[in-house]
Amino acid sequence: MSQTFQSRIYVTLRPSVLDPAGTAVESGLKQLGYQGVGGVRIGKYIELTLSAENEERAREQLDLICDRFLANPVIENYRFELTPISSPASVE
């Protein structure tokens, strides 16, 4: 019996890593007249569904997926949120 989870993953550059894309957006915004903007950092936002026996197993799997595939652990951090979509007992 498996359960399905909706997951939202946020991959961001480590604070110590320069963010050229963020810097470019920041200077572009200032040129457009938005003076009050600062600290622009750009990352990835990934949504996916995941089936697993339970939430703990889903967390383990998602950790592996993020660590090996979605984020570069040398320069990026990741965090995620998991929301159950279907409960195990909902088998028709």
Using alpha carbons, list the distances in angstroms from residue 6 to 16, 20, 63, 64.
31, 31, 14, 16
- Contacts to its own copies from residues 47-76, by CB under 8 A: 47-52, 61, 65, 68-70
Q: Which is nearer to its own copies, 31 or 89 (CB)?
A: 31
The torsion defined by the Cα of 9, 13, 15 and 17, in degrees rounded to 10, comes to 170
- Is there binding between residue 18 and its own copies (CB under 8 A)? no
Q: Indicate whether 30 belongs to the interface with its own copies (CB under 8 A).
A: no
User: How many Å is the maximal CA-CA distance in the chain?
Assistant: 58
Q: Which residues bind its own copies (CB under 8 A)?
A: 2, 10-12, 22, 25-26, 28-29, 32, 34, 36-52, 61, 65, 68-70
